[in-house]
Structures are given as structure tokens and as C-alpha cells.
Structure 1
Amino acid sequence: MKNRPTITFIGAGSMAESLISGMTKTLYVPEQIIVTNRCDRTRLEYMNKTYGVRSETDKRKAVKEADIIILAMKPKDVAEAMGAVASAIHGHQLIISLLAGVTTDTIVSLVGKNVAVIRAMPNTSAAIGQSATAISQGRFATAAHVAIAKKLFETVGIVAIVPEQDLHAVTGLSGSGPAYVYYLVEAMEKAAEEIGLDRSVAKPLILQTIIGAAHMLQSTSKHPSILRKEVTSPGGTTEAGIQVLEQYRFQEAVAACIKRATERSEELGKALLSSAAMQS
């Protein structure tokens, strides 16, 4: 693969945009990146004007030019999308799939060739270089392909290499994880308003509290439960707040949330396999 590979995104939604935003701030230049999608020309024009990347309405042309093809469409659209471009894909290309629940073997089957596929699950924090991404190796991908994918995703955050069967769990945990944190911040902002704090005062306090807690977890080997207990004085304000969280089974709710997101990833994969079997 050449030193400055051409990267084609099929799909121009929020995840594609997050990755492109992060990638073009670090290792890659906009001219290396082509973006195409199903039919939304307005979205392609936006990506071109915002990030300087090349936009292309001819999906086959975009795929033919690519060294790396990144699948960023909705999982339900993958069969149609791959059917439109499969004949333009050749054996020297690397396909990186961002599709929740869709296995590397499914991608290979849709392409109809023994093509290298890496499956990845980043999150939208890629836009600011803070993604937590897990990647898995398809059966026709080599260690060199894994290294290429790892280098790409390291431009937008940290990378873990995991067995493909673990990616459903990764999707439920860190793939969807930013939304859980944003939901928590929504609740904290609402509570701040109800107790009389102005938004302009509350918001920076909330954000720095979350940032500081995360940095504490990164900088110490102490278990989160120990750090929590160190903040929680008997009979104090924190204990009173924690007791309410326990009353509402906060930890159980978070665990159930992650498990349900994981199950949904599995369901998406099974639905796609069932649909593909019916079409064949």
C-alpha cells in the first residue's frame, strides 16, 4: 500500500464525519479522502466544504480509486451498498467496516471475493481525537492490515485489538458510551437548574467534574469503588446523594443499559444474516 493511501468512505453520517474531522487534524490530508453516499448530494457538498475532502456521487469510481474502503452506512443498507460496488473492489484493497453487528464474514460474502476486512468500533469522540476504538481481524486480513487499521484509528484516539466475538460488547460499552455520558450531563444540568444554579455557572463545573474524575481514574491504580469511598464521608453530602442513587438502582440501570445495547448489536447482525439468506 502506498505511503499516502486513498481512503474512500461509503456513508457520510455522524461517524464518518467524526473520523474525517479527527483524521484530517492529524496524519491525513483532505485530498487523500473521498466521501460518497447513497444519494444525498447536499451532505456530500457539506463534507467537501467543511473538511476539504473529495466528494463523489459515482460510488464505483470512488471505490476503484481507494486503497482503503471504510463502510460507514447504516447496517441495514450494507447489502444494497455492497451490491452496487462489489465488482469495483479488488484484492489489494482493505475494507474497514464500522457497522454495528455486521461480521467480517458477512462483508466478504457480500463482496463475493476473498478480500481483507477489518471490523472497527470507534465512537464519535474521534472528532476531537479522543475515541476509544476496538478493531478485529477478518479471516483474509493479515497482520499488516491490522497494523494499517491500528495506525489509522490511533490518529483519533486509543485502539484495542480484540477477537471479533467481543465487538458486540464493545459496541454496547464504548461505541454507544458517549451517549450515556451525555445523558448523565443532561440530568446534572437539569438538576442544577432545579436547585437554582445558573446554566453559565453549572455547565463548566459539571464538565470539569467529569473531566477531573476521568483523569483521576487514569492516573491511579485505585479501583473506582475506593475513589468513591474516599470522597464519601460518613453522614456527609456525598453519602446522602449516593444513597439516592442506590435507591434508584443506578448501577443496575447502567449495567442493564450496556447489556441491552450489546444485545441490540447482536440482533442487528442476525437480522442482516437472515435478510441475506432470504435474498440468496
Structure 2
Amino acid sequence: MLREKRVAFLGAGSMAESMIAGIVQKEIIPADQLYVTNNSNQMRLQQLNAKYGIQALTKDALPYGEIDLFILAMKPQGAADALGELKDKVRPDQVVISVLAGISTEFMEDHLKDGQQTIRVMPNTSSMIQESATALSPGRHTDMDSVLHVKELLSCMGKVFLIEESQMDIFTGLAGSGPAYFYYLMEHMEKAGVEKGMDENMVREIVAQTILGAAKMILSNDEAPSSLREKVTSPNGTTASGLEALRKNNGGKAISEAVYHAAKRSKELNEEMAGALVTS
């Protein structure tokens, strides 16, 4: 059972805290079965201990043999050193998880003993409010029980999607960078309302509620976005006029290109990161 697992966060930054907060709030695992450590910032560890009741320890004091899931949550540049320290301390039945940009299961496997279970995870910034779209990709040696346990654990941040690691770049284009596209859309919708004399705060709430409602409509039934769009688009009506303006200004193409460009850059950054880590 997941509730019996012990989880260690190697790194104590904002992502680690987002996950810890979700786990503690949802009572997925008891707080005293959560461990966090970092290289030197003892004040940060004390803050997390006081706030969440978890066990904040130095690396030397971490009970490696009792841990079920190790989560790499430091800066990516520190991953190789962290994996080197773990190599002789973990067993094949323990799972090493990366939430770091550019740190793949292959990279982890190359730095750990043969047969080690690894999982790569990619959340987005909505994890801070437990509404992330999070991707999960298991390594070559990871069994399905471990995948299911980690998927359940990550549910503290939102919804989890099991994907092939080769799909991580396009996932980044869709979900990793996705919130920014909607913020950009909201920014321009808000600007249009303010330019026509509406209160800025009211417009912001109207736009946010509109996007929230549209998202809930998609999630509450099996209809495709195109079908729902057609249902609210009366011939020669206001929505039809707005959509026609989007088409004339290549709005659809712009959205697709945003996803493709973000995915392309994700691949480039991952390759750059992997190259830098190998040569360092």
C-alpha cells in the first residue's frame, strides 16, 4: 500500500515543497514517513519540518535502506552527483524518481547500478494549487506496481498521465508550457474589456471564470472541443463573428505553432542538459 511507503526528497526547493504540501494535505502518506534533505541549507530544512511535520535530515542521517521512493528535486546540475551518492545505497526494489528538466530515465540508469527502477516525472506550475497536468514515464526496469504507487503519489499535485518518454517534449509543449498560453490569452481578453471601459479586476475574474467553465465542460463529458464549439456557434451570431476573426488572423495556427515550438525547444534543452552533464 502507498500509505506504508517512505519517501525521501533529495532537494528542498519549491517543487519539493509543492509535492510535500499536497501529500500532507491529502494525507496520502503520514508526515513522519516523508524525509527531505539538501546539501547545506539547514534553515530551509527546519522551515519544512516546522511547517509540515516531516523529517528534515542531513544526507548522512537519511535512512537509505528504509526509503521506498527517492525523488530527485535539486537543481538539474546536481543530479549526477546525487545519483553517484545513491548508486551504492539503493536496492533494485527501491525507485529513483526525477522531477528535473532534462534528467531522463536513461540518464538515471547510466548513473545507477544495472536493474535500478527509475521514473521520470514532469509536472507543471499548477502543481502549486494541486491542479497540475503531470506526465509519468517509467524506466526500462520499473515494474507496474511501482508505476501505480508513484502515479497515486503524484495525484497530490493534480491529474497524472502515463506516457512514453519519447512523448515528453510534446507533453512539455502542451502542458508544461501550456498555462502560459492561457495566461497570454487571458491577458489579451482582459485588455479588450478594459479598453471598452470595464473594471480591470472584474474583467480578470470574468475571463478566468469563462476559461474555468470551458475546461469543466470538456472534463465533464466525452464531447470533443470542436463539437462544443459548434454547439455555441450560431450562424451569423456573435461567436461566429469572433471565431471568424481568429481564423482570419491565423489564431488556430498560432496555437499549434506555440505547442510545436515549445516542444522543439524542450528537445534542444534536454539535449543540451544531457551533454553538459556528461562532460562536467
Encode CA deviations 1:125-155: one digit per residue, 9 max, x unaligned: 3343333222122112112211211221233
Aligned 1:119-158 pairs, distance under 5 A: 119-158=120-159
Cα offsets for 1:71-101 (capped at 9, x unmatched): 1233333223333444433333211111233
Q: Give the structure 2 partner of residue 179 of structure 1.
A: 180
Equivalent residues of 1:168, 1:265 under 8 A apart:
yes
**After the TM superposition, which residues 209-248 of structure 1 pair with which residues of structure 2 at under 5 Å, given as runs?**
209-248=210-249
Gaps of 5+ in 1: none
Matched with 2:91 is 90
Q: Which runs of 5+ in 2 are unaligned?
A: none
SS at match of 2:107: helix
Hey, what does 2:18 align to over in structure 1? 18
1:61 equivalenced with 2:53 (yes/no): no
Q: Which residue of 2 aligns with 1:192?
A: 193
Deviations 1:29-64 (A, max 9, x none): 3222222234444543443343333333x2343372
What's the CA shift for 1:219?
2.6
- 210-219 vs 222-231, which moves further: 222-231
Following TM superposition, by how much is the alpha carbon of 1:217 offset from its aligned partner in structure 2, in angstroms? 1.3
Corresponding letter in the other structure for 2:279: M
Between the aligned partners of 1:36 and 1:186, the Cα distance in structure 2 is 39
Structure 1: how far apart are the matches of 2:208 and 2:120?
Answer: 32
Local SS of the residue matching 1:100: coil
Retained in 1: the 8 A contact 2:21–2:52? yes
Does structure 2 retain, via aligned residues, the 8 Å contact 1:60–1:84?
no
Could you tell me how far apart the structure 2 residues matched to 1:186 and 1:147 are? 38
The corresponding residue for 2:5 is 5
Contact 2:72 / 2:97 at 8 angstroms: preserved in 1? yes
1:51 paired with 2:52, answer yes
Change (3 A) 1:194 1:28: farther
RMSD of aligned residue pairs (Cα, Å): 2.6
Give the deviation of 1:200 after TM superposition.
3.5
Contact 1:36 1:59 in 2 (8 A): yes
Conserved 8 A contact 1:8-1:33: yes
Name the CA shift for 1:23/1:90 in 2 (closer, same or farther; >3 Å). Answer: same
Structure 1 counterpart SS, 2:25: coil
Work out whether residues 102 and 274 of structure 2, in 8 Å CA contact, stay in contact via their aligned partners in 1.
Answer: no
Deviation at 1:213, TM superposition (A): 0.6
Greater CA drift, 40-49 or 217-226:
40-49
Q: Distance between the aligned counterparts of 1:247 and 1:38, measured in 2? A: 54
Could you give the per-residue CA deviations for residues 146-183 of structure 1, whole angstroms, max 9, x where no partner exists?
A: 12112212333322222221222222212332232233
> Which SS does the other structure have where 2:236 is aligned?
coil
Q: TM-score of the superposition, structure 2-length normalised?
A: 0.85
Specify the SS of the correspondent of 2:67.
Answer: coil
Q: How many matched pairs?
A: 278
Change (3 A) 1:38 1:202: farther
Structure 2 CA distance for partners of 1:178 and 1:197, relative to 1, 3 Å: same
When normalised by structure 1's length, the TM-score is 0.85
Identical residues among aligned pairs (%): 39
Contact 2:12–2:74, Cα closer than 8 Å, also in 1: yes
Structure 2 residue 64 is the aligned partner of structure 1 residue 72: no
For 1:17 and 1:266, locate their aligned partners in 2 and report how far apart those are by CA, in whole Å: 27
Residue 151 of structure 2 is aligned to residue 166 of structure 1:
no
CA distance in 2 between partners of 1:11 and 1:270 (Å): 23
Give distance in 1, aligned partners of 2:73 and 2:124.
Answer: 12
- Residues 109-140 of structure 1: per-residue CA shift (max 9 Å, x gap): 12345321011222233343333222122112
**Which letter does structure 2 place at the counterpart of 1:264?**
R
Q: C-alpha distance in 1, partners of 2:191/2:29?
A: 40
**Amino acid of the structure 2 residue aligned with 1:78:** A
Give per-residue Cα distances to partners, 1:14-42, cap 9 Å, x unaligned: 33222222221211232222222344445
